[in-house]
């Protein structure tokens, strides 16, 4: 069977304390993403951040499916808000690239998996908004930024019956958690298919017009790359959808 190419959106980070390279921007993705894609039967491909529309179209065309990776906070200007005190570091160039890449994937009907910030990008693309800082904007929340190994689940999710996610993971699955922003207003085109015990959205799906889009707030790649077969199922589903 042909192994599909799974494009993974990159991130930018300034290089610090590296001699003549200090201050340069580095394109990167974490190896948990590439490892999970390979284990699921796909071929991972880093998609470097670009502002060139022709390059972005080519990125989508090169791939059978797209993963929108996690990263820093999303720039609130992109969903019509000013930053609050709890808003963290963001780089608008990355967010704009992710949004344009997602729109191109939608146009081409390429399957998309959004992880953590990637799910938030999906929500914004369809017209939704975010909590800029969960602790200061929500009361009685559980801990969403864990202080333990990345492959350990730290809170349960409730999964909606009949959803795609329910076919992959059992209800009550423990997931890891590395975020202080979250989906707030959800547009009508998207379906919330998992939540945490405090009501924070943990998964979104869009299955209209033959399009496959799944967003998850946790980091399945961190768990799958360390041997979690249930979480690897998310990547296997993406690979399967990419060759239909």
- Read off the tokens for 62: 């090169």
**pLDDT over 90 (residue 208):** no
Burial category of 5 from C-beta neighbours within 10 Å (exposed 0-12, middle 13-18, buried 19 and up): middle
Percentage of residues in the chain with pLDDT exceeding 70? 100
The mean of the pLDDT values for the chain is: 96
Mean local confidence (pLDDT), 199-209: 94
Q: What is the pTM of this model?
A: 0.96
Q: For this structure, is 221 an active site residue?
A: yes
> Which of these is catalytic: 104, 202, 205, 221?
221
How would residue 205 be classed by pLDDT, with cut points 50, 70 and 90?
A: very high
Give the per-residue pLDDT at 14: 84
**pLDDT over 90 (residue 152):** yes
| Buried b / exposed e along 116-142 (16+ C-beta atoms within 10 A) | bbbbbbbbbbbebbbbbbbeebeeebe
Give the per-residue pLDDT at 237: 98
The domain over range 5-242 is classified in CATH as 3.40.50.880: yes
How would residue 171 be classed by pLDDT, with cut points 50, 70 and 90?
A: very high
**pLDDT over 80 (residue 21):** no
Mean local confidence (pLDDT), 25-49: 97
> Which of these is catalytic: 59, 116, 180, 205?
116
Percentage of residues in the chain with pLDDT exceeding 90? 91
**pLDDT over 90 (residue 209):** no
Name the 3-class secondary structure at 174. strand
- Report domain extents, the chain: 5-242
Q: For this structure, is 116 an active site residue?
A: yes
> Which of these is catalytic: 63, 155, 219, 237?
219
Give the per-residue pLDDT at 55: 98
43 contacts 104 by C-beta, under 8 angstroms: no
Nearest 5°: the CA angle 31, 167, 158 is 85
Count of residues making up the chain: 244
How would residue 244 be classed by pLDDT, with cut points 50, 70 and 90?
A: confident
């Amino acid at each position: 069977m042909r192994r599909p190419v799974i494009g993974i959106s990159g991130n930018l980070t300034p290089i610090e304390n590296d001699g003549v390279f200090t201050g340069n921007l580095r394109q990167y993705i974490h190896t948990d993403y590439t490892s999970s894609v390979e284990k699921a039967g796909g071929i991972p491909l880093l998609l470097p951040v670009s502002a060139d529309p022709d390059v972005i179209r080519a990125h989508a065309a090169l791939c059978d499916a797209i993963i929108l990776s996690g990263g820093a906070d999303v720039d609130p200007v992109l969903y019509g808000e000013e930053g609050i005190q709890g808003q963290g570091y963001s780089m608008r160039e990355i967010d704009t690239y992710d949004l344009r890449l997602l729109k191109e994937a939608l146009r081409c009907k390429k399957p998309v998996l959004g992880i953590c910030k990637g799910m938030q990008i999906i929500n914004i693309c369809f017209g939704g908004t975010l909590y800029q800082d969960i602790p200061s904007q929500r009361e009685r929340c559980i801990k969403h930024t864990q202080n333990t190994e990345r492959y350990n689940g730290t809170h349960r999710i409730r999964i909606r019956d009949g959803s795609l996610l329910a076919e992959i993971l059992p209800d009550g699955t423990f997931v890891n958690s590395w975020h202080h922003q979250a989906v707030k207003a959800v547009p009508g085109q998207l379906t919330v298919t998992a939540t945490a015990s405090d009501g924070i959205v943990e998964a979104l799906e869009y299955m209209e017009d033959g399009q496959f889009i799944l967003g998850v707030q946790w980091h399945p790649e961190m768990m799958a790359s360390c041997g979690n077969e249930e979480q690897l199922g998310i990547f296997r589903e993406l690979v399967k959808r990419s060759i239909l």
